[in-house]
Amino acid sequence: MANSKINQRAGSRALLMGNEAIARGAVEAGLQLMAAYPGTPSSEVCEALIEAHGESDYYIEWSTNEKIAFEVAAGAALVGARSMTAMKNAGLNVAMDTFMTLPYGGVKGGMVIVVADDPGAHYSSTEQDTRLLAMYAEIPCFEPMDPQEAKDMTRDAFEMSEALELPVFIRSVSRISHASGDVTFGPRAEKRNRIGFNKHYKLPYRWNVYGAPGAVSKHEWLHSVAPKAREAANASTYNKLELARGAKVGIISSGIASSYAKEAMRRLGLSVSFLKLGMIHPLPDQLVGKLLSEIATLIVIEEGDPVVESMVRGFAQENAFQVKIYGKSYDAVFPPTGEINADKATEAIAKAMEIKLEPDNREAARARIRAIVAPRSSTLCAGCSHLGTYWALKKALKKNSGVHIVNGDIGCYEQGGYGLFASKINVSDEESKRHSIRSAYEILDTLYVMGSGIGIAQGQAQVGYSDGKVVAVAGDSTFIHATLPAVVNAVYSQADITFLVLDNRWTAMTGHQVNPNTGVDTLGKKRERFNIAVVAKSLGVKSVRVVDAYNLEEAQEAIAEALEFEGPSIVVLEGECMLQVLRRTKKGRAATRVDEQACTGCELCLQLGCPAVMFDKVKKKAKIDEINCVDCNLCVQVCPHEAIAKRRG
Amino acid sequence: MSVNIIVAGVGGQGSILASHILAEAAILAESESRDGRRVNVRVGETFGAAMRGGAVASHVRFGDDVYGPLVGRGQADMIIALEPLEGLRIGVEYIKQGGMAVLNDEKFAPVDVKIGAAQYPDIQEIKRALEELGGTVRVVAGTRLAVQAGTAKAMNIVMLGTAFKSGILPFGEQIMLEAIKRRVPRRFLDVNIEAFRLGMQTDA
């Protein structure tokens, strides 16, 4: 078998994605267990370790959600193993309960928690800065500036975790996790921690926060570790202070922002004092003090919230440093939202230091040119089963008058709430009532997080919303991840809602990871498939139907029946992810065609939302994109004039 | 010294692979030059939420003053556009005064255009716009040349060939070929090498 990407000789240099570098760091540390739930941009940490499984010996799994993954990793660390979990920013919210509590007793084996934040919300519902949550849980927090540091920090984080007996947090961001850089490999640890259990390891009832003498004693222990952690931060090689002789201006940067800060300083040709932080919590107070005592102006450059800035402000005030601090809070030189980069860092430094930047004389031309750049809206794939589900739902809802609410959820099908960039939407009460669903991309009315749709639907129904039907949707992976207690709640409270489960067998949006509904496990071994309908019935749902999402008549009839049903009803819409189907079957040029004689130009087929259905505005006829079309037969069923059909022969 | 390139295209066209080949070549070039100068190599990838057919841009940077993964605004030495509209979308923000753009001439219309809600600009209009921003533009029949090499999928490698021929890359043909060899599955290697050759030869 060929080497995996992260398995190379120590000393060699290769291009690694940040997430792969983190995976390699864990291998270099002697990882014994990895558990995660997919979430962009964090998924490749676990994926790289799945690919490398067999080259090193560790247990690995895609768990059913981040809290379970966190607990699996925590359990391993309690019996002495080196374990890791990785998740996206929102994933940490799911794991919060255990995340907040575990540090009270700490860990025995090294435990590393990797969280990939997403400033700019490229792949996420929010821009939340999880460094604040590492501080909230009172554990050490690292922030790498590039893939090399991501690897090295991960390796060293295991050591620190064992030295401090605390889980250690690594905060990545999209521009680390999904960026690649040259990485020099280190040696792989051959040694593994011994697995064993000691219920009173250095502390009474160590792993039982309630155990005598109680939770406060555990909290006291946690605080007793803080000075050691701060000492470690002051001594960390990832925190580097470079004092420029006589400079009255200083810069503090952390994580990826250090890369931006270095480039900005080069562009501006600055000679200022510079504190580059890689371990940001606890704040390395001695290094910060040394810098503040030399300067009169400080610029803090960081990705996310003003986390380092706030800590530095508090420290500066306590020690009466007379330093003007610029960052994201007071006299902000950075915007409080969105992602930063080297350009923004350059502008921020220039603003704080009152340096005049050379204006770009091409702005007027750019503004003119931008107007001709057509938008490229995100769509579901050609022949996606969700297109069938949404069409059937739209038709079933239309049979009932009123303003219906469709509560969305996270997965490929969330695109049902993206809208089209080119469509114009007016904000008014009247428009809200009139708004007919014009395409598959305008069907979801609420959209928050994994599993939120079915919970929110219950609140709408139970408070007496009666202007229309209340519907929720979720995918198969989400059904298992986050909706089971919500289904029980709906059953027990008899909420009058309809819940559609969009079963495509894979955790598709994050890159086709497996889940219990796939039928194979993390390493590809065949497993008995989770049965959504059987589980729904056993939870007490009286109206459960399973239909083929590609059979529009059947799907529409099943959804209509569920909408009529009083109390909670579930319709499972089956249709395996088309990309997976295409991986197994060779696809030639599609046979689906439009009969231009029969086509009336009604544009109804466009509302299906399939990217392979096109429209010729001049001829006023529909057209099929034969390269993208997969002959799924959905548009054939949608056309009321029988103008679309598969060509024979 | 730093080189800043953006490979722009649509999900599924191979922009990530093309950018990784360039980055691989930069790493190979450094280990061969042996002058001890440390060259950082970065690729900033935008993908994930982008399904098939979504806009994808991959930033490739290398040099001794490169740290972050993103090309600065108005600082791209070269835009390699696997799709012309995406070349314009990226070019309008990133192309350097005096930079270069190589455009594949095969359009991949966005859904907004397919449903008639937006207009796809004419390719000559795209070319003129990038020239107005100070770029030198070459339009290449990338997809057609790739088909000629053996598969339309090798279009990204054709475009690398044309980009390489521009002379902007600080390494030789052998290094590019070695990088392609390392990144492309063995059974497609011959087709891709032919695609690279055709891309270099085109005088469009």
| A-chain residues near B110 (CB < 8 A) | 374-377
Furthest C-alpha separation in chain A:
85
Torsion angles phi and psi, residue B148, rounded to 5: -60, -35
Task: Give residue A426's pLDDT.
Answer: 66
The better pLDDT of the pair A452, B167 is held by: A452
| B-chain residues near A424 (CB < 8 A) | none
How many Å apart are CA A42 and CA A472, to the nearest integer?
27
Q: What share of chain B is helix, strand, coil (3-state, %, to 5)?
A: 45, 20, 30
Strand pairing report for A168-173 and A141-142: parallel
The pLDDT > 70 percentage for chain A reads: 97
pLDDT beyond 80 at B38: no
How many Å apart are CA A92 and CA A104, to the nearest integer?
18
Does A484 reside within a domain? yes
pLDDT beyond 90 at B111: no
Q: Which domain holds residue A342?
A: 240-353
Distance in Å, alpha carbon of B198 to nearest chain A alpha carbon:
24
pLDDT beyond 70 at B35: no
Task: Give residue B37's pLDDT.
Answer: 66
Query: Average pLDDT, stretch A370-379?
Result: 92
- Determine if the peptide bond prior to A282 is cis (ω within 30°): yes
Tell whether A203 and A252 lie within a shared domain: no
| A-chain residues near B74 (CB < 8 A) | 360, 362
| CATH number of the domain to which A607 belongs | 3.30.70.20
pLDDT tens per residue, range A555-614: 999 999 999 999 999 999 999 999 999 999 877 789 999 999 999 999 999 999 999 999
Does the beta-carbon distance from B129 to A369 stay under 8 Å? yes
pLDDT tens per residue, range A488-542: 999 999 999 999 999 999 999 999 999 999 999 999 999 999 999 999 999 999 9
Q: Are A113 and A170 in contact (CB under 8 A)?
A: yes
Does A366 reside within a domain? no
Does A380 reside within a domain? no
Does the beta-carbon distance from A178 to B115 stay under 8 Å? no
Tell whether A184 and A246 lie within a shared domain: no
Of the listed ranges A11-25, A116-130, A139-153, B107-121, the least confidently predicted one is B107-121
Cβ count within 10 A of residue A524: 8
pLDDT beyond 60 at A151: yes
Q: Are B23 and A180 in contact (CB under 8 A)?
A: yes
Q: Does B67 touch chain A (CB under 8 A)?
A: yes
Confidence of residue B32 (pLDDT cuts 50, 70, 90): low
Tell whether A312 and A326 lie within a shared domain: yes
**Pick from B72, B85, B115: CB nearest A343:** B72
Distance in Å, alpha carbon of A180 to nearest chain B alpha carbon:
5
Does A371 reside within a domain? no
Does the beta-carbon distance from B116 to A617 stay under 8 Å? yes
A559 Cα distance to chain centroid: 31
Q: Partners of A66 in the beta sheet?
A: none
| B-chain residues near A628 (CB < 8 A) | 53
What part of B 44-63 touches A (C-beta under 8 Å)? 44-55
Distance in Å, alpha carbon of A90 to nearest chain B alpha carbon:
15
Question: Would you put residue A340 in left (φ > 0), alpha (ψ -120 to 50) or beta?
Answer: beta
Does the beta-carbon distance from A377 to B111 stay under 8 Å? yes
Does the beta-carbon distance from B110 to A375 stay under 8 Å? yes
Distance in Å, alpha carbon of B133 to nearest chain A alpha carbon:
7
Tell whether A158 and A24 lie within a shared domain: yes
Does A426 reside within a domain? yes
Q: Are A233 and A140 in contact (CB under 8 A)?
A: yes
pLDDT beyond 90 at B72: yes
Tell whether A522 and A482 lie within a shared domain: yes
pLDDT beyond 90 at A202: yes
Q: H or E element: which one contains B102? A: strand B95-104
- Give the domain-ending residue among A235, A265, A296: A235
Q: Does B109 touch chain A (CB under 8 A)?
A: yes
Q: Are A474 and A502 in contact (CB under 8 A)?
A: yes
Tell whether A502 and A544 lie within a shared domain: yes
Does A160 reside within a domain? yes
pLDDT tens per residue, range A233-261: 999 999 999 999 999 999 999 999 999 99
| A-chain residues near B43 (CB < 8 A) | 15, 179-181
What part of B 166-185 touches A (C-beta under 8 Å)? none
Instruction: Kindly identify which residue of chain A lies nearest to residue B21, measuring between CA atoms.
Output: A15
Dihedral (Cα; A605, A611, A616, A617), 10-degree rounding = 80
**Pick from A179, A267, A412: CB nearest B69:** A179
- Tokens 């359990």, residue? A75
Instruction: Kindly identify which residue of chain B lies nearest to residue A144, measuring between CA atoms.
Output: B68
Tell whether A246 and A227 lie within a shared domain: no
Q: Tell me the H-state helices in chain B.
A: 15-33, 84-94, 111-114, 123-132, 142-149, 155-165, 173-183, 189-201
Joined together, the tokens standing for residue A75 give: 């359990």
Tell whether A51 and A192 lie within a shared domain: yes
Task: Give residue B127's pLDDT.
Answer: 98
Does A45 reside within a domain? yes
Is A359 in a helix, a strand, or coil? coil
Q: How many domains does chain A have?
A: 4
| B-chain residues near A13 (CB < 8 A) | 27, 31
Q: Are A593 and A624 in contact (CB under 8 A)?
A: yes
Q: List Cα–Cα distances, A563 to A461, A468, A476, in angstroms.
A: 13, 10, 20
How many Å apart are CA A184 and CA A370, to the nearest integer?
41
Closest CA to B95 of B168, B198, B170: B168
Instruction: Kindly identify which residue of chain A lies nearest to residue B25, measuring between CA atoms.
Output: A15
Q: List Cα–Cα distances, B23 to A172, A347, A451, in angstroms.
A: 22, 28, 40
Does the beta-carbon distance from A377 to B110 stay under 8 Å? yes
**Pick from A146, A256, A611: CB nearest B111:** A611
Query: What domains lie within chain B, and their CATH numbers?
Result: 2-139+163-184 (3.40.920)
| CATH number of the domain to which A247 belongs | 3.40.50.920
| A-chain residues near B20 (CB < 8 A) | 15, 180
Joined together, the tokens standing for residue A648 give: 């024979």
Does A26 reside within a domain? yes
Q: Does B123 touch chain A (CB under 8 A)?
A: no
pLDDT tens per residue, range A83-116: 999 999 999 999 999 999 999 999 999 999 999 9
* Burial (0-12, 13-18, 19+ Cβ within 10 Å), A62: buried
Tell whether A610 and A642 lie within a shared domain: yes
Joined together, the tokens standing for residue B43 give: 């690729």
- ipTM value of the model? 0.95
Distance in Å, alpha carbon of A94 to nearest chain B alpha carbon:
20
State the count of interchain CB pairs (< 8 A) between A and B.
169
Does the beta-carbon distance from B92 to A256 stay under 8 Å? no
Tell whether A605 and A624 lie within a shared domain: yes
**Which residues neighbour A27 within 8 Å (Cβ) at sequence distance 6 or greater?**
A6, A7, A49, A52, A55, A56, A188, A189
Strand pairing report for A592-594 and A83-88: unpaired
Q: Does B20 touch chain A (CB under 8 A)?
A: yes
Extract long-range pairs of A94-101: CB within 8 Å, 24+ residues apart. A94/A37, A94/A65, A94/A66, A94/A67, A94/A450, A94/A482, A95/A66, A95/A67, A95/A69, A95/A70, A96/A67, A96/A133, A97/A67, A98/A67, A98/A70, A98/A71, A98/A74, A99/A70, A99/A133, A99/A137, A100/A136, A100/A137, A101/A209
* 3 state SS for A564-626: HCCCCEEEEEECCCHHHHHHHCCCCCCCEEECCCCCCCCCHHHHHCCCCEEEECCCCEEEECC
Does the beta-carbon distance from A263 to B68 stay under 8 Å? yes
| CATH number of the domain to which A526 belongs | 3.40.50.970
Query: Average pLDDT, stretch B170-199?
Result: 96
- Determine if the peptide bond prior to A213 is cis (ω within 30°): yes
pLDDT beyond 50 at B26: yes
* Burial (0-12, 13-18, 19+ Cβ within 10 Å), B150: middle
Q: Give A99's DSSP letter.
A: H
- Give the domain-ending residue among A537, A559, A581: A581
Does the beta-carbon distance from A379 to B111 stay under 8 Å? yes
Tell whether A214 and A297 lie within a shared domain: no
End-to-end CA distance of chain B: 30
- Give the domain-ending residue among A547, A562, A581: A581
Distance in Å, alpha carbon of B194 to nearest chain A alpha carbon:
24
Torsion angles phi and psi, residue A362, rounded to 5: -100, 5
Tell whether A301 and A170 lie within a shared domain: no
pLDDT beyond 50 at B48: no
Q: Chain A interface, mutation test: which of B15, B21, B51, most A Cβ atoms within 10 Å?
A: B51
Task: Give residue B145's pLDDT.
Answer: 97
Closest CA to A173 of A234, A209, A131, A133: A131
**Pick from B43, B45, B113: CB nearest A374:** B113
